[in-house]
Amino acid sequence: MKRLLARHETYIFGIIVVFSIIITAINPNFLTLENAFDILKSNAFTGIMAIGVLFVLISGGIDISFAATATIAEYLTVLICLRVGGSMLFAFFSALVIGIILGAVNGYLIDRFAVPPIITTIATMNLYYGLLIVFSKGRWIYALPQYFRTFADIRVITLYTAEGLPYGLSIVTALWFVLMVLSAGLLFYTRLGRSIYAVGGDAISAKRVGVSVKMVRIFVYAFMGAMASVAGIVQALLVQAVAPNSIVGKELNVIAAVVLGGASLAGGVGTVSGMFLGVMLLAIVQNGMTLMRVPAVWYDVFVGLVILFSVGSSSWKVKKEKVGTFIDIEPLSPPMVQEGGR
Amino acid sequence: MNRRTKAAVLLMLIALIAAPMVFAQGQKAPAGSPEVVTVVKITGIPWFNRLEEGVKQAQRELGLNAYQIGPADADPAQQVKMVEDLISKKVAAICITPNDATALEPVFKKAREQGILILTHESPDQAGKDVDIELIDNVAFARRTWDMLVEGMGPTGKYAIFVGSLTVPLHNLWADEGIKYAKEKYPGLELVTTRIPCGEDQELSKQKTLELLKTYPDLKGIVGFGSLGPPGAAQALKEKGLAGKVAVVGTVIPGHAAPYLKDGSMTKGILWDPKDAGYALNWVAKYMLEGGKIKDLKEVPGIGSVAVEGDIIMVNAMVDITKENVDSFGF
């Protein structure tokens, strides 16, 4: 199992390398530190949401509402900050509280009423987003607090171009990396992390060995809400304006990136490093198209092909191996035990 | 506990269903004067909130019983229903920005049979209307945008175009007209790549600008349609120390563009004021209710001169948004 996963990541990594070589051959400006830092900064927002999505997918669920959660956390936090002042730390804290509450509501509803997560989160997405539009009347916020402006410009590493302009590793990229390291640690070295895999692999078996499926589910969706809220603040930092409709609609891109990184929609499978590579692959393809001077009408075609190619070829390999190693036997007794999740 | 939760859920549902209806009611004005109702595409977004201010101005100044309603989301079916309700209410005139031109045709016919005036906005090809009012002449609008670009970058050099998406009719019409115009008047301009669909997303516009700068280091200008293209481009330029060195023009919401115009990273914006649209619609409605003929119309007082083409009235109301006037719009 582990070797298989390792193989998927090396696989995605290989595709990234091939793409990078092609793009660089056409436009050498691609393979510069400056471009790399720019990509990492622009995609920190997607990347942070992807961490949450990864957790949800591993647990065997799915969440469509996280973009709405991110928007609400972003919007309310900025409103609160404008009203009562505060600081960047306070902004993150306030967003986290909102995100965790909204996420936990999802988790509770899914577990309590056993509604399929996709329906629950589509419903809560509409509910959250709808309420935001009703109460905000769609108003945009242009005047962010001053510390929002200065914080986004902080660089962890600063370099200078030939013309003497500063560039470097942005604070939001650093934040993304720290969150990834922490989540990887949580997934692999804690009981809770392993329980998430167990629940996603087979909830019934997990329950039998004493995992509290309910707590795991609530945790996973609350964690998703937390990541979404941080991403919301990052988005406000990047764009320097808050619009109630600027994040909603990006859900599928994030989910696609995570699945591209090897997480399974059936649950139980996925790693942080794979997710990172998935996000980067999509980012590089999008970045590369402009750099390779591809006309804009072809963008979507290209992205679609890359997703199909990368996901298709790696799961085809898995399929081949599986067919070679085990035979499926239909259970004769009534299927009270659901057929084994992977 | 269980019953109570159920009751609470039910109550919430009722509240949710009822709330939009309450919001859609709008306010009532003194009776007796002709009732002119403006139906917008969607309520609660800044654009139509601003349009409503024009409607309110018309109510105050023109002695009309004028007010605005609209569905909670851009739903053609709800607009049809609203028009039907207005017909049974026997209003004098309906001003409407259609969500779907064809869906509204039958009710428009019904309304006109009962002597109700139908005025449309942003729908010049609409069938079944009495008159359509546009606040800009699309060709002139595109040309003005390219003139602005040249003011910023000079008559020669490379530039790129952002649109909201490749299917937004207006953005692509402007782009087509602008490119045509540039070929005749500014042959030194060179479009580096086909139009890029990122203008409704600021973060994406910023990314695309960064990528364009790496691909075409001698890029000198960006035209952005869709109100988030120019701010995104301006942000990228600021980050790369290129503010003022690359010209950025296009459609923007003044309140959003203000910081970029003021620090010089955005050259100029262009737009029309939706408030003017709200006022002009009601003004023309009153004019026609009092027996005025469209073909005799020369100007809408306070808004601008008028060009009439068949049943389409074009009021010349486009405005340049510059760092000097950006704070005067109030939206």
Note the pLDDT tens digit of each residue in B41-91.
887 777 788 899 999 999 999 999 999 998 877 788 999 999 999 999 999
Bridging pattern class, strands B299-300 and B304-309: antiparallel
Within-domain flag for B150: yes
Q: A241 contacts in B (CB within 8 Å)? A: 202, 231, 256
For helices A44-58 and A251-260, the axis angle rounded to 10 degrees is: 70
pLDDT of residue B10: 59
For position B226, which CATH number holds? 3.40.50.2300
pLDDT of residue B279: 94
pLDDT of residue A331: 53
Within-domain flag for B11: no
The domain tally of chain A equals: 1
Q: Which domain holds residue B261?
A: 138-271
Return mean pLDDT, chain A. Answer: 88
B60 and B33, same structural domain?
A: yes
Interface contact B199, partner A, CB < 8 A: no
Reference B180, options B224, B221, B146, B134; nearest CA is: B146
3-state secondary structure of B132: strand
Within-domain flag for A332: no
What is the nearest CA distance from A55 to chain B, expressed in angstroms?
A: 26
Q: CB of A37 within 8 A of CB of A169?
A: yes
Interface contact B46, partner A, CB < 8 A: yes
The dihedral of CA A124, A127, A129, A131: what is its sign? negative
Within-domain flag for B7: no
Subunit contact A239:B202, Cβ cutoff 8 A: yes
B209 and B285, same structural domain?
A: no
B215: closest chain A residue by CA: A291
A249-278 per-position pLDDT tens digit: 889 889 999 999 989 888 999 999 999 999
Interface contact A20, partner B, CB < 8 A: no
In this structure, what are the phi and psi dihedrals at residue B162, rounded to the nearest 5 degrees?
A: -105, 140
Reference B327, options A190, A144, A142; nearest CA is: A142
Indicate which of A146, A239, A301 best probes the interface with B, i.e. most B CBs within 10 Å of its own CB. Answer: A239
This complex has an ipTM of 0.81
Within-domain flag for A337: no
CB contacts < 8 A (A, B): 84
| Distance from C-alpha of B278 to C-alpha of B273, rounded to nearest angstrom | 9
Within-domain flag for B9: no
B131 and B142, same structural domain?
A: no
Within-domain flag for B292: yes
pLDDT of residue B54: 93
Q: Token pair of A170, please?
A: 């942005």
Within-domain flag for A20: yes
pLDDT for residue A292 is more than 80: yes
Within-domain flag for B295: yes
CA A47 to chain centre: 5
For position A273, which CATH number holds? 1.10.3470
B145 and B264, same structural domain?
A: yes
B279 and B266, same structural domain?
A: no
Q: Which domain holds residue A199?
A: 2-321
Q: Who contacts B262 (Cβ-Cβ below 8 Å, separation ≥6)?
A: B323, B326
Q: Token pair of A262, please?
A: 């090897």
pLDDT of residue A339: 43
Q: A287 contacts in B (CB within 8 Å)? A: 207, 211
Within-domain flag for A143: yes
B194 and B247, same structural domain?
A: yes
B262 and B154, same structural domain?
A: yes
pLDDT band at A340 (very low <50, low <70, confident <90, very high): very low
For helices A272-291 and A33-42, the axis angle rounded to 10 degrees is: 120
**Percent of chain A's residues with pLDDT above 90:** 62
CA B153 to chain centre: 27
The domain tally of chain B equals: 2
Q: Token pair of B153, please?
A: 């970058």
Within-domain flag for A342: no
B225-268 per-position pLDDT tens digit: 988 899 999 999 998 989 999 999 999 989 889 999 999 999 99
pLDDT of residue A342: 43
Instruction: Please calculate the CA angle A154-B203-A139 and round it to the nearest 5 degrees.
Output: 100
Within-domain flag for B18: no
pLDDT of residue B4: 65
pLDDT of residue B28: 44
3-state secondary structure of B114: coil
B284 and B189, same structural domain?
A: no
Q: Which residues share a beta bridge with A221?
A: none
B239 and B279, same structural domain?
A: no
pLDDT of residue A335: 44
Within-domain flag for A27: yes
What is the nearest CA distance from B199 to chain A, expressed in angstroms?
A: 12
Q: What are the distances in angstroms from CA B273 to CA A280, B52, B138?
A: 41, 11, 15
B285 and B201, same structural domain?
A: no
* Residue with tokens 């050099």, as numbered in its chain: B157
Residue A291, H or E segment: helix A272-291
pLDDT band at A5 (very low <50, low <70, confident <90, very high): low
Q: Token pair of B194, please?
A: 């086909």
Low-confidence ranges of chain B (pLDDT < 70): 1-31
Residues 295-314, chain A, touching B (beta carbon < 8 A) = 295-297, 299
Within-domain flag for B323: no
Subunit contact A241:B241, Cβ cutoff 8 A: no
What is the nearest CA distance from B299 to chain A, expressed in angstroms?
A: 33
